[in-house]
């Protein structure tokens, strides 16, 4: 065999492999994620707490900023928004432990943070808001040995990092599972660490934590990986903002 023929052997093999790959891809089922949502006529929006200030405006009593954004997006997609409360969201910083399924949720939100754990599990789309950790009490840090309540909420922030920060200060963490627990803890005069969007008793003094406890994070919506057509359409709908271009928000279906 001539040297010229040998020189063409590898390029021809690569072309054959590429052609075979493209042929195999052509037999994969088309992504119907957007069509499926539109056929069902609804968009399931999962949050941990329907009373979060992102969902319900505590002052006006109407929809909060994130819910308004979702209502507008649902209207642009031509579907009805369905708000679903799932208590498992945020139970740990690893979203794989939340036991969520596609049958439950199309979009996750209500205070979801842009964290490495969340990025590894979902496609994330920024909401335009941010979240951080803060501490109630005096400006001076509590002394070592102090019991400090911790309300981590549903954001999926790095709790391992926060635990390390508290150990470095010598504080004893006391987990607070609900906002009511946080309010009672603060009312008792003890310091607490909480998310910046958490409603507090009127007059509660609070201060930012040191950067080593955790950075300010963007809030995001979480979508299932692989839902290409739905993700593209949802991203476009969200980019237009809340209420923009809508004559009236679409109706909100009840909790499930």
**pLDDT, tens digit, for every residue of 204-224?**
999 999 888 887 889 999 999
Determine if the pTM surpasses 0.75.
no
Q: How far is CA 174 from CA 67, 112, 160, in A?
A: 31, 22, 15
Q: Find the mean pLDDT for residues 241-248.
A: 48
pLDDT of residue 12: 60
Beta bridge partners of 144: none
Q: Find the mean pLDDT for residues 52-66.
A: 87
- Report the alpha-carbon distance of residue 185 to residue 176 in Å, rounded: 8
pLDDT of residue 249: 37
Residues 6+ apart with CB under 8 A from 102: 224
pLDDT of residue 59: 77
pLDDT digits (tens, 9 = 90+) for 118-136: 899 999 999 999 888 999 9
The phi and psi torsions of 218 (rounded to 5 degrees) equal -75, 140
Q: Find the mean pLDDT for residues 29-47.
A: 90
Q: How far is CA 13 from CA 3, 9, 39, 95, 227, in A?
A: 16, 6, 44, 43, 33
Neighbours of 255 (CB within 10 A): 10
Average pLDDT, the chain: 84
Model confidence at 183, pLDDT cuts 50, 70, 90, reads: very high
pLDDT of residue 94: 79
**Helices (H), ranges, the chain:** 3-26, 33-40, 65-77, 116-119, 159-169, 179-187, 228-239
CA angle 46, 51, 53 (to 5 degrees): 95
Q: Find the mean pLDDT for residues 100-114.
A: 92
- Report the alpha-carbon distance of residue 97 to residue 120 in Å, rounded: 13
Tell me the percentage of the chain whose pLDDT exceeds 90: 50
User: Measuring CA to CA, which residue among 45, 165, 154 is closest to residue 93?
Assistant: 154
Evaluate if residue 144 carries a pLDDT over 90: yes
pLDDT of residue 248: 37
CA angle 177, 175, 112 (to 5 degrees): 55
Q: How many helices (H) and strands (E) does the chain have?
A: 7, 11
All structural domains of the chain, each given as residue ranges with its CATH number in brackets, are 33-130+217-253 (3.40.190.10), 133-213 (3.40.190)
């Amino acid at each position: 065999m001539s040297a010229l023929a040998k020189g063409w052997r590898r390029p021809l093999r690569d072309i054959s492999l590429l052609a075979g790959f493209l042929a195999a891809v052509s037999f994969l089922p088309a992504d119907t994620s957007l069509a499926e949502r539109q056929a069902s006529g609804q968009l399931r929006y999962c949050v941990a707490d329907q009373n979060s200030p992102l969902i319900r405006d505590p002052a006006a009593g109407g929809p909060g900023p994130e819910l308004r954004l979702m209502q507008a997006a649902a209207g642009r997609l031509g579907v009805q928004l369905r708000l679903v409360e799932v208590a498992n969201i945020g139970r740990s910083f690893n979203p794989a432990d939340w036991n969520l399924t596609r049958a439950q949720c199309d979009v996750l939100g209500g205070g979801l943070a842009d964290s490495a754990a969340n990025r590894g599990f979902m496609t994330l789309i920024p909401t335009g808001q941010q979240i951080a950790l803060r501490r109630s009490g005096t400006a001076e840090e509590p002394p070592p040995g102090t019991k400090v309540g911790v309300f981590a909420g549903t954001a999926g922030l790095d709790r391992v990092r926060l635990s390390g920060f508290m150990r470095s200060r010598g504080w004893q963490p006391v987990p607070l599972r609900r906002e009511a627990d946080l309010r009672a803890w603060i009312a008792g005069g003890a310091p607490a660490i909480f998310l910046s969007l958490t409603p507090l008793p009127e007059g509660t003094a609070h201060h930012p934590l040191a950067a080593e406890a955790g950075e300010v994070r963007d809030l995001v919506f979480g979508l299932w990986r692989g839902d290409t057509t739905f993700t593209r359409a949802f991203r476009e709908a969200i980019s237009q903002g809340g209420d923009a271009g809508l004559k009236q928000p679409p109706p909100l279906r009840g909790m499930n």
